[in-house]
Structure 1
Amino acid sequence: MSKQQSPFAVFFALRNALEHNPATVYKAVYLGEMVDAVRRFGWGVECHDLDVDTPSLTKYIEVFLKSPSLILIWCDVHQARLAKQIAELAKKVSPETPVLVYGRATAFMPQYFERPPFDAIHVSGDREAAIIDYIETIGTSRPPAGWSIFSPEEKRYVRHQGQRLAPANWPVPSLVDLPLDKYAEFTRNTHGKDYRTRLAITVSKGCDFGCAYCGAPQEEGAIDRRRPISHVFKWIDESGFKKRSETLHLFASTLFANRTWMRDFCNEYIRRGDTFTWRGVTTIKSLLNEEIIHLAGKARCIELAVGIETLSRSHDRTAKSSISELESVIKMARNSGIRLKGLVMLGYPGQNEDDVLRLEEFAQEWGIMLRYTGYTPLHQLRSKTAVELDAITIESYDRRTYFDAEATDLSADFFFERIVRNGGYYVPSDMNALSV
Structure 2
Amino acid sequence: MRRKEKFAILFMTLPRVVYDRNLHDRCTDFGETAQYIMKAYQHHADVEVTIMDSSIPGSTMRSLYRKFTEGYDVIVLYTDITDAAMARKMCEVISYISPNTKTLIYGDSTLAIPQYFKRVPFHAAHLCGDQEAAIHSYIEFVRTGEEGVLKGVSVVHANGESKDYPTDIRIDPSEWVLPPIDKLPIEEYQKFSREFKDSTYACSVYVSKGCAQRCAYCLCGPREGYVDRRRSVKDTVEFLEAYQHRFDRFKLHSADLFADKTWVREFCHEMLRRNVKVKWKSTVCLNSLEPELLELCAEAGCYGLGFGIETFYQDRQRGFKVAVNEFENIMSKIKHIPIRYKGFVMLGLKDQQLIDVEYTLELLKKYNVKVRPSTFTPFYRLRDLPVEELERINLEDWNKKEFFHTGNNHLNEKTVYQIMDSCHF
| TM surpasses 0.5 | yes
Q: CA deviation at 1:8?
A: 3.0
Show the 5 A alignment for 1:17-416. Answer: 17-20=17-20, 22-40=21-39, 41-42=41-42, 43-137=47-141, 138-141=143-146, 142-151=148-157, 155-191=161-197, 196-238=200-242, 241-287=243-289, 289-416=290-417
Task: List alignment gaps of at least 5 residues for structure 1.
Answer: 426-436
| Alpha-carbon contact 1:293-1:332 (below 8 Å) kept | no
Q: CA deviation at 1:118?
A: 1.2
Query: Which residue identity lines up with residue 284 of structure 2 in the other structure?
Result: T
1:117-161 CA distance string (max 9 Å, x none): 211110100011112323344314124211101245793333332
Alpha-carbon distance in 1 for matches of 2:420, 2:234: 39
Q: TM-score, normalised by structure 1?
A: 0.90
Mean Cα deviation higher: 402-411 or 375-384: 402-411
1:18-76 CA distance string (max 9 Å, x none): 444x4221111111101211211134333333331544433112211111132111111
Alpha-carbon distance in 2 for matches of 1:98, 1:166: 28
Q: CA deviation at 1:343?
A: 0.2
Q: 1:9 to 1:332 in 2, by over 3 A?
A: farther
Query: Which residue identity lines up with residue 367 of structure 2 in the other structure?
Result: W
Alpha-carbon distance in 2 for matches of 1:217, 1:56: 34
1:255-298 CA distance string (max 9 Å, x none): 111111111111111111111011111111121x2221121111
Alpha-carbon distance in 1 for matches of 2:299, 2:63: 49
Q: 1:393 to 1:2 in 2, by over 3 A?
A: closer
Query: Which residue identity lines up with residue 265 of structure 1 in the other structure?
Result: F
1:431 match:
none
Query: Which residue identity lines up with residue 153 of structure 2 in the other structure?
Result: W
- 2:244 aligned counterpart, secondary structure: helix
| Alpha-carbon contact 1:9-1:38 (below 8 Å) kept | no
1:86-138 CA distance string (max 9 Å, x none): 11111211111110110111111110011112111101000111123233443
- 1:401 aligned counterpart, secondary structure: coil
Aligned residues: 418
- 1:335 aligned counterpart, secondary structure: coil
Alpha-carbon distance in 2 for matches of 1:256, 1:145: 31
| Alpha-carbon contact 2:34-2:132 (below 8 Å) kept | no
Alpha-carbon distance in 2 for matches of 1:130, 1:281: 26
Alpha-carbon distance in 1 for matches of 2:371, 2:406: 23
Q: CA deviation at 1:248?
A: 1.1
- 1:222 aligned counterpart, secondary structure: coil
Task: List alignment gaps of at least 5 residues for structure 2.
Answer: none
Q: 1:19 to 1:2 in 2, by over 3 A?
A: closer
Q: 1:208 to 1:55 in 2, by over 3 A?
A: closer
Q: TM-score, normalised by structure 2?
A: 0.93
Q: CA deviation at 1:326?
A: 1.9
Alpha-carbon distance in 1 for matches of 2:159, 2:14: 33
Identity of aligned residues (%): 28
- 1:399 aligned counterpart, secondary structure: coil
Alpha-carbon distance in 2 for matches of 1:47, 1:160: 27
- 2:89 aligned counterpart, secondary structure: helix
What is the alpha-carbon root mean square deviation over aligned residues? 2.0
